[in-house]
């Protein structure tokens, strides 16, 4: 969908238990030359420390942000609420623990105007990528650290903008991706491309992900050292959504077999039965979610 004017952009920041980092991220956004037309803070944190609460309240009172408190942590749900609450053409989703290394608002708008894509994904540099980039084999494969723009078939939500109307038309994000919500971006990307939409990678829109140890998905522990199925349920749900039954069976089987055959498990084999239990619980949970059917925007009775 071509815009006949410069599109308006809402910037949405889903956040969970990262008060000080959230405030720093918002301040970076407010210091950009081209500020978003609206900043939505989708706050899933139960309570903040007093200093954070006062700073966010002041930003809200000044009109810098729309601070929306949500009752429970869910990345897809927070992003769906942002789509509904936005009053702009585009919605840019950013993580709450980042350093902005470009004029990210301008670049995302430019990415949409150049590509006519439903989704534009910017460059995301992770803490370990500086070491990876020295590996020639790593450079041969596409990653979200690439400096070459082009159309792709995947997405990452930490630096991703969407055409709001088109995203809502396909139902937004599936809220059946619970807890860590692993693979929810891939499922969304598949629905975008299945209806003829395009996804454009535009590295000029660049951020660095700090990957802070506390808060966010780190709240649910390390996938290698937990018996809880919070990390595995999303993967199994994604596999069960595959169009062909043989692909579902194959992917589920491979995941179940290889999840406990990592370097970590070979060094500490007592974790193998714990991981197997975690994976089986995640698979059962995913099957229950799958049987209920996807939870998109247009299938919800209420959003908040």
Digitized pLDDT (tens) for each residue of the chain, 304 residues in all = 667 678 999 999 999 999 999 999 999 999 999 999 999 999 999 999 999 999 999 999 999 999 999 999 999 999 999 999 999 999 999 999 999 999 999 999 999 999 999 999 999 998 765 555 555 554 556 789 999 999 999 999 999 999 999 999 999 999 999 999 999 999 999 999 999 999 999 999 999 998 777 777 777 778 888 999 999 999 999 999 998 999 999 999 999 999 999 999 999 999 999 999 999 999 999 999 999 999 999 755 444 3
Tell me the per-residue pLDDT of 10-31, one tens digit each, with 9 for 90 and over: 999 999 999 999 999 999 999 9
Distance from C-alpha of 46 to C-alpha of 16, rounded to nearest angstrom: 8
Q: Name the H helices within the chain.
A: 19-30, 50-62, 75-85, 104-115, 129-132, 136-140, 164-169, 184-194, 233-240, 245-258, 263-267, 272-292
Q: Which two tokens stand for residue 185?
A: 């971006």
Say if residues 118 and 192 touch (Cβ distance below 8 Å). yes
Which of the listed CATH numbers 3.40.50.10440, 3.40.920.10, 3.90.550.60, 3.40.50.720 matches domain 9-215? Answer: 3.90.550.60
Burial class (CB in 10 A: 0-12, 13-18, 19+), 68: middle
> pTM higher than 0.85, yes or no?
yes
What residues does CATH 3.90.550.60 cover in the chain? 9-215
Long-range CB pairs of 298-302, under 8 A, 24+ apart, other chains included: 298/168, 298/171, 299/171, 300/80, 300/175
Phi then psi dihedrals of residue 4, to 5 deg: -90, 5
Closest by CA to 290, choosing from 255, 224, 254, 245, is 245
Residue-level pLDDT at 214: 79
pLDDT of res. 5 = 77
What was the pLDDT predicted at 138?
Answer: 46
């Amino acid at each position: 969908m071509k815009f006949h004017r410069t599109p308006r952009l809402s910037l949405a920041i889903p956040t969970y238990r990262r008060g000080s980092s959230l405030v720093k991220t918002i301040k970076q956004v407010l210091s950009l030359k081209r500020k978003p037309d609206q900043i939505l803070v989708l706050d899933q944190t139960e309570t903040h420390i007093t200093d954070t609460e006062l700073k966010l309240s002041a930003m809200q009172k000044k009109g810098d942000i729309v601070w929306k408190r949500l009752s429970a942590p869910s990345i897809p749900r927070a992003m769906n609420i942002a789509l509904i609450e936005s009053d702009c053409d585009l919605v840019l989703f950013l993580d709450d623990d980042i350093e902005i290394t470009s004029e990210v608002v301008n670049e995302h708008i430019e990415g949409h105007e150049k590509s006519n894509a439903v989704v534009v994904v910017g460059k995301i540099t992770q803490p370990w990528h500086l070491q990876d980039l020295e590996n020639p084999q790593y450079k041969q494969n596409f990653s979200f650290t690439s400096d070459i723009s082009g159309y792709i078939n995947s997405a990452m939500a930490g630096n991703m903008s969407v055409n709001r109307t088109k995203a809502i038309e396909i139902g937004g994000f599936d809220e059946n991706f619970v807890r860590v919500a692993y693979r929810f971006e891939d499922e969304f990307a598949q629905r975008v491309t299945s209806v003829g939409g395009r996804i454009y990678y535009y590295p000029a829109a660049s951020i660095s992900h700090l990957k802070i140890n506390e808060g966010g998905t780190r709240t649910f522990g390390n996938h290698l050292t937990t018996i809880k199925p919070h990390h595995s349920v999303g993967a199994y749900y994604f596999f069960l959504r595959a169009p062909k039954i043989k692909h579902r069976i194959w992917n589920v089987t491979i995941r179940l077999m290889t999840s406990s055959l990592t370097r970590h498990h070979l060094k500490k084999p007592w974790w193998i039965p714990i991981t197997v239990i975690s994976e089986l619980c995640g698979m059962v949970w995913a099957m229950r979610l799958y049987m209920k059917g996807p939870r998109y925007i247009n299938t919800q009775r209420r959003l908040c």
